Structure 1
Amino acid sequence: MLLITCPWCGPRNETEYRYGGQAHVPHPESPADLTDEQWAEYVFYRDNPKGPFAERWMHSVGCRRWFNVLRDTATHEVLTSYRLDEPRPGGNR
């Protein structure tokens, strides 16, 4: 089990959370102007790195707030968690 720290509620078991996909994926400025291929790329294609990866999580049985988690995909170690209005620690991706 992962121990994930909610920025508002503190450390909790992963069963209290819901995964929301890759973090820091900007919404298209003009979605109506995208081709079907561009829209599909935005909706479905995500990075799949080995190592640190920024993810979105929601504390579904707690405060119900969304936040970001930096997790190592090779070891599943949670490196840090941070609010949506905070920059990713240690750079981009």
Structure 2
Amino acid sequence: MSNERRCFKTAAEKLRKLIEFYRDIDAAASILLSELGGLLDLAKRGQITKLVEPRDIPGYSLFTETRLQSYKDLEAAYTNFYIEFIEARETEAYKMLAAKMAKD
């Protein structure tokens, strides 16, 4: 398994664990799991074979429209999964931003 796919699988597993933890606290996490569950399963099994458009990744609106944004660890895990999923770390824009943030 390539390093990129391993990072993607790890990001999916971490996100699922946090969603499962928060679903006992906040019903919105249950909705998030129902929306993302299929993608998380595919990622865990290494069955994501093509790029997906960012707009096709569910869950973002739950962070803006519910209290999920108050769970910073969950929000960070979702963001990391999202970035891995769209392979944004490979873009020049991401690399430039990361370099600038490392300087500051």
Shorter-chain-normalised TM-score: which range?
under 0.3
Point out the structure with the larger strand share. 1
TM-score when normalising by structure 1: 0.24
Point out the structure with the larger helix share. 2
